[in-house]
Amino acid sequence: MRKLSSSLLALLLIAVSCQTTTQPVAPPAQPVVALSQPVHIVVVGTTDLHGWFAGHDESTAAASKPGYGGLAVLSGYLANLRAANPGRVVVVDSGDLFQGTLESNLFEGEAVVKAYNEIGYSAAAVGNHEFDFGPVGPDPVVRTPGQDPLGALKRNAALARFPFLSANLTEKTTGQTPAWARPWALLDVAGVKLGIIGLSTPDTPNVTTAANVATLSFGQPVAATIKAAAELRARGADAVIVIAHMGGRCTDLRDVHDVASCDPTQEAWKFLNALPQGTIDAYLAGHTHQQMREIINGVPALQAMPFGQAFSSIDLYVDRGSHRVVDSRTEIRQHTNVCESVYAGTERCDPKAASGGNSALVRRTFEGATVVRDGRLDALFAPYLQQVAAKRNEPLGVRTAGAFGRQYSRESALGDLYADALRAAVAGAEAAVINSGSLRIDLPAKELTYGDIFETSPFDNLIAVVKLTGAQIREMVRITSAGDRGILQVSGLRMTLDAQKDAVRPVSERDRVVSIQMSDGSALEPGRLYSVVMTDFLSTGGEGLGPLMRQVPPDRVTLLTDRGTMREVLIDGLRKVAREGLLTPKTFGRITVLNDDGRRD
């Protein structure tokens, strides 16, 4: 149901206005039809904005494509939704708000928080990348005494007029939720008491800089949710939803009851199947940059695409008498693409929607009115964008002959390129590795600017040269190919992995490495030391490498502190590997994956 009929809406509004807060003196002797109509609320979910507050403009000199995303346009959609559902719209985010664009990172996410305040977000989950900025200021980790590794996040939480929620996040010393966060929130929405529980992925220490979260514990989400839901129900919550930085992946979103396309290895799937039915009324997910729109173990589960491309939404009908959601009336809407203009006859602005000769762009209508971008937000963003424009547009003197794509579970053109660039940038390096998860978007086909490199890999990591034995290199590859965080992209190495091997064993015991050697075909000698270039994210134990890296003596790790961030080293290397300034997308057959399930990622 996209909209209520006006007569039903009128009835509902009367019902709402007639409601009082007093409870019935005694329960009815027999089940009877509720005296008042359930209250209709709409919950809107975004996730993994990753700093893309200003939207995406992929126009080039050669081709003009419509822009998409951006919080000013999102705000336009929400204005229409709120006009159609006055006082009954709740907007939440499932985490990873800040990390990812120059204009966000340079100010450590400030513009995103201010915009979320203007939009009127009710809560955000604590994502792993919320911790990336470390202390306030340019250092991404504590480098001088007195710095607080949580400083930038605390500053953002203080600036926010909405709470950061995580029920499974506690301080190791106190066992309590840190002061800058809350486990849950309880709101009043059109007379409905709506409980919102936040969750963070227990994998957080492996997918942010581990040192920044050393004082924090990321506990079991199921137990934390049951406890939080009980606290909320005890305080009179009529409905309880979860915003979780724990994602899923379902590839077919057409039928909410058909879960056959959902990946059962994903955190969201496991969580929802372990949660007792009736604990929560909806689950809004993030983190995996994939989509969900299904009912999993009785719970409506939603996840919208990242980077502000789309939002998810759900209609809940809440019976305040029984403090329950009327499940039969719950409606998970189709995800909504955030487009100011759309291809005629569609609700989309990605060029794929223009197929069939339909290339006319028209203004988007949503909830019966034209979507108008929010000028207040454009004004808010302008100073941030101006300050980074010069840096963003700095030409690198290198151009790409085509787009370089990414893959998580197999070799990618962008992975090969960046691993080669890191190796080329460091004299004497025999190999370089880069984690697939650090490559955030494809590298477009164009004259490259600093902004392009930034957006493919926005992390303020430094580069380290680590002397590893051949046996340690093999162990590094074993650990990073055993789970589902994504494999290492490599330069100087060649390997064969078996994607199905040891599937029944725990991740920590899996060995999917069939063979590994140097790229010239020579053997990787177990006892010999090799110079391997990597980010300090990996050299300090990211991607589950902590136990291995703790065995490496400190004098075998050289941090290239005088070379700038990983990006400056990458740019230096890209100039070296380019041929007459040109980079051509290619994979080199360095990583062979046996028993690949063929799923594109």
What residue ranges bind Zn ion (CB under 5 A)?
Answer: 96, 127-128, 287
Q: Which is nearer to Zn ion, 249 or 287 (CB)?
A: 287
Q: In whole angstroms, what is the distance from residue 559 CA to residue 539 CA?
A: 9
CB of 128 to Zn ion, least distance (A): 5
Query: In whole angstroms, how close is the CB of 438 to Zn ion at the nearest point?
Result: 12
- CB nearer to Zn ion: pick between 141 and 207: 207
State the amino acid at position 23 in one-letter form: Q
135 phi and psi angles, rounded to 5 deg: -70, 160
Nearer to Zn ion, 95 or 163 (CB): 95
**CB 473 to Zn ion: min, Å:** 28
Q: Compute the least distance from the CB of residue 245 to Zn ion, in Å.
A: 6
The DSSP H or E segment spanning 75 is: helix 71-84
CB atoms < 10 A from the CB of 544, how many? 19
Q: If residue 572 lies in a helix (H) or strand (E), which one and from where to where?
A: helix 566-577
Q: Minimum CB separation from Zn ion for residue 273, in Å?
A: 21
Q: Which is nearer to Zn ion, 96 or 315 (CB)?
A: 96
CA atoms within 13 A on the CB side of 326: 16
Please tell me the distance from the alpha carbon of residue 263 to that of residue 249, in angstroms, as a whole number.
6
Report in angstroms how near the CB of residue 50 gets to Zn ion at its nearest. Answer: 9
CB of 204 to Zn ion, least distance (A): 8
DSSP states of 225-281? HHHHHHHHHHTT-SEEEEEEE----BS--S-TT--TTB-TTSHHHHHHHHSPTTS-S
What beta strand segments (E) does 126-238 contain? 164-165, 169-171, 184-189, 192-200, 216-218
Q: Which of 286, 291, 568, 543 has its CA nearest to residue 453? A: 568
State in angstroms the smallest separation of the CB of 108 from Zn ion: 17
Give the 3-state secondary structure of 376-424: HHHHHHHHHHHHHHHHHCCEEEEEECCCECCCCCCCCHHHHHHHHHHHH
Shortest Å, Cβ 132 to Zn ion: 10
Residue nearest to Zn ion (CB): 287
Backbone dihedral angles phi then psi of residue 482, each to the nearest 5 degrees: -90, -25
- Name the residue nearer to Zn ion (CB basis): 207 or 490: 207
Name which of 39 and 97 has its Cβ closer to Zn ion. 97
Residue 301's H or E segment, with its range, is strand 299-303
Indicate the residue among 182 and 287 with the shorter CB distance to Zn ion.
287
Closest distance to Zn ion from the beta carbon of 127 (Å): 5
Pairing assessment for the beta strands 192-200 and 184-189 based on DSSP bridges: antiparallel
- C-beta of 289 vs 293, nearer to Zn ion: 289
d(CA 68, CA 115): 17
For Zn ion, the closer CB: 193 or 287: 287
Pick 287 or 373: Cβ nearer Zn ion: 287
Which one, 208 or 540, has the nearer CB to Zn ion?
Answer: 208
Owner of token pair 């039915």: 277
Q: At its nearest, how many Å lie between Zn ion and the CB of residue 199? A: 12
174: CB partners within 8 A, 6+ apart = none
Nearer to Zn ion, 206 or 481 (CB): 206
**Distinct helix (H) and strand (E) counts, the chain:** 14, 31
C-alpha–C-alpha distance, residues 413 and 403, integer Å: 9
Name the residue nearer to Zn ion (CB basis): 400 or 480: 480
**Which helix or strand (DSSP H or E) is residue 539 part of?**
helix 536-539
- 228 is written with which tokens? 């939080």
Smallest distance, Zn ion to C-beta of residue 79, A: 28
- Strand 331-332 and strand 324-325: the pairing is unpaired
Please tell me the distance from the alpha carbon of residue 469 to that of residue 454, in angstroms, as a whole number.
32
DSSP conformation letters of 500-538: TTTTTS-GGG---EEEEEETTS-B--TTSEEEEEEEHHH
- Indicate the helix (H) or strand (E) that contains 110: helix 110-119
Q: Which is nearer to Zn ion, 96 or 374 (CB)?
A: 96
Closest CB 592 distance from Zn ion, rounded Å: 29
CB 447 within 8 A of CB 399: yes
Q: Minimum Å distance from CB 15 to Zn ion?
A: 40
| Rounded least distance, CB 47 to Zn ion, Å | 9
Amino acid at position 69, single letter: G
Given the complex with Zn ion, which of 67 and 127 has the nearer CB atom? 127
